[in-house]
Structure 1
Amino acid sequence: MKGFLEDANYSIGLLDEGATLGNVIDNYAYEHTLTGKNAFFVGDLGNLVKKHIQWQNVMAPVKPFYTVKCNSTPGVLETLAALGTGFACSSKTEMALALDLGIPPVNIIYTNPCKQASQIKYAAKTGINVMTCDNEIELKKIARNHPNAKLLLHIATEDISGEEEVNMKFGTTLKNCRHLMECAKELEVQIVGVKFHISSSCKEPQVYIHAISDTRCVFDMAEEFGFKMTMLDIGGGFTGCEFQLEEVNHVISPLLDVYFPEDSGVNVIAEPGCYYVSSAFTLAVNIIAKKAAEYDNFLPAGTEQTKSDEPVFIYYMNEGVYGSFASKLTEKFNSIPEVHKKYKEDEPLFASSLWGPSCDELDQIVENCLLPELNIGDWLIFDNMGSGVMGEQSAFNDFQRPLIYLTMSFSDLYKMQYTGLTSDTLMKNFFFVPSCVQLSSEDSFTTAA
């Protein structure tokens, strides 16, 4: 399958109106059953188109700068480039990817809070000038290596809920902003704006009120030093839920009208990542081992349940936290698996747990769920798997990284063409997929392999 980070080319299956994403998953599960049962992703690039239209409808005029580290699959980047997004990059590799797509350097920002000097020099060499900074040491490093840098001061935000305990926060205080401006003036480094970031775990959109009012203070402070401020970056934290997007817009829109009206000359941007890609990708994994356990031994400590004679099943899959489920090590994982095989409605369900292939105690994907009894070789489907580690090589047992198959429907392609957003480089990668099921390994679906 072409389409990995190091590949220059990739293929996109163009679905006719009779074909569904379910058909695509069925076909590849059938093919992988014949050829090796490796895990695989199916990506719906049309989902990106829908999310972009949703963003334009709700969040205009905030320009999205896609966070490349969320998912750097070339087909994703090509599609978002055609849609007109900017790119927020955290490394030289990501900056090079964006530049290779023909993205103008002015539409790329270097957002890593801890930058290597060599990568700052690369940004300088390629004309990527806008980057973030939150401390004096970083400021001096940028001054030495990028004389044309344009800085966004990254300010810390306050978690008004008090629920989230943060051991290490990026961002500087309002008090320290004045000191950084004094240093920037002395070092002859330009400060052109402010960035803040609200975590997706924050449940209070009101946090934006504090952040934007603090930003206005920083802008006023910068004017005292003679800096021309032209950019406000409201960061990421967008979950992909339209309701959340509307909630955020409901809070920030009147604030932007007051503090940064359109005639102020301030460009407002954001860094959505998960918003675009999470729901666009589905992961199919295979059951490689199973064992039965006694019900009492399976229950978590402290759980009160009546004794049951029913077996409890523990399943091991060919992907885990050292591969495509890596985000589970640092984030809450809520994806509920779907059994791919057809089973009867009255078929009994059993308490089950799902594990990755490493046999590591950290490699538990789902602690407890109800599933029909599965067999080795059966497939499980996980939705909303587009953000995080896409197709990384597993660290254990020579398991191959999942292949990535990309699709788009005719109707979604038409939406892009109708608005003039397709590109020649994107169009050349399409191939037609007829509406059919259970293709054999010799049939046309294998052209993506």
Structure 2
Amino acid sequence: MNDIIEFNRNNIDLNNSELPYSIFNVEDVIEKYSQWCRLMPRIRPYYAVKANPSLPLLKVLNKLGVGFDCASQHEIETVLELGAKPESIIFANTCKTNASLVYSRDEDIDLMTFDCLEELKKIQIRHPEARLLVRIKVDDTDSKVRLNRKFGCSMTDALNLLSAAKQMGLFVIGVAFHVGSGAQSADAYDLAIARARQVFDMAEALGYKMSVLDIGGGFPGLWSHSLDNNEITFEQMAKVVNTAIDKHFATIDDNGHWYDNLTVMAEPGTYFCETAFTVLTRVLSRREVSDDQNNWPHIMYTLNDGAYGSFKDSIYIRKVYEPIPLLSSDIIAKRQPYNSILWGPTCCSQDCIQDNCPLVEMFIGEWLMFANMGAYSTNFDNIGFNGMPAPVYRIYVSYKAKQVLIKRNVWKPIRSYFYQFGYNQQ
């Protein structure tokens, strides 16, 4: 974090700019990828583009060898333009437009999910050679964002759909599920993998040769040392996932090998991007407020970014943000803390970043920094609600990250690409 603070001071004109900034730390993504390969080496990650469609992030992930989980034709077009190969893409939206199916067929994107008969009918007409994964419902009770109310089919429907697909001449090759975004129970993966194996058996009884298991996402984006004691860690999830696959998909001789020719994939989004981005906001206005008895003093600050920009989760999941004043320790020590309210810049009364926020007194023109801002937050459109500007992009590449990219022979093309986003050689 100190490196990021120093980078901000050296690369951003904090005295004159009134725009918010989003800082992409390339090393963080590389470290996440290394951790994934170390703890789940048999499972290939397909990054969920919807979590953060930042082009430099996608470029780095592609060069590292990560695949992509795309939910629309636009997302597919984006990753193809960045150099992703068709076989590294899964069209994981169970409800696809007719045009996107035709586009996928033309671009050789053939791996996709389904969870209903109507989707099979669309696929049969427009992409009959597609390789399909039936998405099933699983228990997502302990997740922050539950997905299985909208997506996935029951076990009964799965059998009916497999039978229908067989009659339609379609190729079902595997099973997909998602335990929910921000999963809080590693056991959810064990239960889901056990259920997926049951669907494999159903399909094989119908004559299918199943070969792909997609375990979805839900993996935590924060590093384990940053989590509360009661929160599940990636290490714990990885252990449960590996054990569950070995248990439910082992060969008959039980020698530790997986089910014949089994390919296991996952769709992490938050995992790769949450800690890789830091947002800087400037105080545009301040207002001191008291109650009628004049005994409840606090300060309301209006910042140049808010819930309609980088802080969307203040509305969606009531995320608690922790502002870090970009002030010297000497200045912070001299200032009195107040119970504060942080507002975004729009005219909407719901544009509140943080209520009841303990914060040392800040003044107009000073800056606050927010860490762990990469997942479902940063607004990469040029203009947002009320005409408020999106954050200006900056890219931080540490010496360590640069050496990794040089070793993989991808530093020069990535560096050239970064120049389009205000990258300066550090």
TM-score normalised over the length of structure 2? 0.89
For residues 426 and 69 of structure 1, the distance between their equivalents in structure 2, rounded to whole angstroms, comes to 22
- Structure ranking higher on relative contact order (CA contacts 8 Å, 6+ apart): 1
**TM-aligned CA distance change 1:410 to 1:180, over 3 Å:** same
Q: What is the CA-CA distance between 1:354 and the residue it aligns to?
A: 0.4
1:9 corresponding residue in structure 2: none
**In 1, are the aligned partners of 2:183 and 2:220 still within 8 Å (CA)?**
no
Pick aligned residue for 1:279 from 275, 279, 290: 275
Letter in 2 for 1:240: G
Tell me, yes or no, if structure 1 residue 428 matches structure 2 residue 416: yes
- Please give the alpha-carbon distance, in whole angstroms, between the structure 2 residues aligned to 1:223 and 1:242: 40
Q: Distance in 2 between matches of 1:48 and 1:265?
A: 30
Secondary structure at 1:290's aligned position in 2? strand
Whether contact under 8 Å (2:143, 2:184) holds in the other structure is no
> How far has the Cα of 1:162 moved from its partner?
9.7
Partner of 1:112: 93
1:340 to 323, 326, 335: 326
Residues 72-105 of structure 1: CA deviation (Å, up to 9, x unaligned): 2221111111110111111111111221222221
1:329 equivalent to 2:312? Answer: no
User: Cα distance 1:138–1:274, how it changes in 2: closer, same or farther (>3 A)?
Assistant: same
Q: What corresponds to 1:249 in structure 2?
A: 238
Does the 8 Å CA contact 1:290/1:315 hold for their aligned counterparts? Answer: yes
Counterpart residue number, 1:194:
175
Residue of structure 2 aligned with 1:234, choices 215, 237, 246 = 215
In the alignment, structure 1 residue 55 sits paired with structure 2 residue 36: yes
TM-score (normalizing by structure 1): 0.84
C-alpha offsets along residues 134-161 of structure 1, whole Å, 9 cap, x if unaligned? 1111111111111111111111112455
Q: CA 1:421/1:88 → structure 2, altered by over 3 Å: closer, same or farther?
A: farther
Alignment of 1:162-311 (within 5 A): 168-243=149-224, 244-260=233-249, 261-262=257-258, 264-294=260-290, 296=291, 309=295, 311=297
Which of 106, 122, 131 aligns to 1:125? It is 106
Aligned partners of 1:357 and 1:396 also within 8 Å: no
Are 1:370 and 2:352 matched, yes or no? no
Q: Report the Cα distance in structure 1 between the residues aligned to 2:169 and 2:377, rounded to whole angstroms.
A: 39
Work out whether residues 134 and 155 of structure 1, in 8 Å CA contact, stay in contact via their aligned partners in 2: yes
Q: Which amino acid aligns with 2:323?
A: P
CA shift for structure 1 position 256: 1.1
Displacement of 1:206: 1.0
Shift of 1:430: 5.9
Please give the alpha-carbon distance, in whole angstroms, between the structure 2 residues aligned to 1:446 and 1:251.
Answer: 40
> In structure 1, how many angstroms separate the alpha carbons of the residues matched to 2:95 and 2:79?
20
SS of the residue 1:66 aligns to: strand
Cα drift, residue 279 of structure 1: 0.5
Deviates more, 1:396-405 or 1:316-325: 396-405
What percentage of aligned pairs have identical amino acids?
Answer: 31
Asked if residue 85 in structure 1 is aligned to residue 66 in structure 2, the reply is: yes
CA contact (8 A) 2:113 2:134 kept: yes
CA distance in 2: counterparts of 1:55 and 1:116, whole angstroms: 33
1:406 and 2:402 correspond: no
Provide the C-alpha distance between the structure 1 equivalents of 2:394 and 2:166, rounded to a whole number of angstroms: 50
SS in structure 2 at match of 1:132? strand
Q: State the AA in 2 paired with 1:59.
A: M
Per-residue deviation, residues 347-386 of structure 1 (Å, max 9, x unmatched): 2111100011113121111011111221111111111111
Separation in structure 2 between the aligned mates of residue 106 and residue 222 of structure 1, nearest angstrom = 23
Displacement of 1:447 in angstroms is 5.7
- Is the contact between residue 114 and residue 120 of structure 2 (CA under 8 Å) also seen in structure 1? yes
Which residue number in structure 1 is paired with residue 15 of structure 2? Answer: 33
Tell me how far apart the structure 2 counterparts of residues 386 and 417 of structure 1 sit (CA, whole Å).
25
Question: How much does 1:345 deviate?
Answer: 1.6
Looking at structure 2, the residues matched to 199 and 446 of structure 1 have their Cα atoms a distance apart, in angstroms, of 35
Match of 1:350 in 2: 338
AA matched with 2:318: K
- Structure 1 263/421 Cα, relative in aligned 2: closer, same or farther at 3 Å? farther
Q: Displacement, 1:423?
A: 5.7
Moved more, 162-171 or 142-151: 162-171
- Equivalent pairs, count: 404
Query: What is the one-letter code of the residue matched to 2:343?
Result: W
State the alpha-carbon separation in 2 of the partners of residues 162 and 230 from structure 1. Answer: 28
Q: What residue is the counterpart of 2:7 in the other structure? A: 24
Whole-Å separation in 2 of the counterparts to 1:380 and 1:211? 42
Q: 2:369 is matched with which residue? A: 381
Tell me how far 1:20 sits from its aligned partner: 2.6
The structure-2 alpha-carbon separation of the partners of 1:91 and 1:21, relative to structure 1 and needing over 3 Å to count, comes to same
- Whether the 8 Å contact between 2:281 and 2:303 is mirrored in structure 1 is yes
**In 1, Cα distance between the equivalents of 2:4 and 2:215?**
34
CA 1:430/1:178 → structure 2, altered by over 3 Å: closer, same or farther? closer
Structure 1 SS opposite 2:19: coil
Gaps of 5+ in 1: 1-18, 298-306, 432-444
Query: Do the aligned residues in 2 keep the contact of 1:324 with 1:392 (CA within 8 Å)?
Result: no
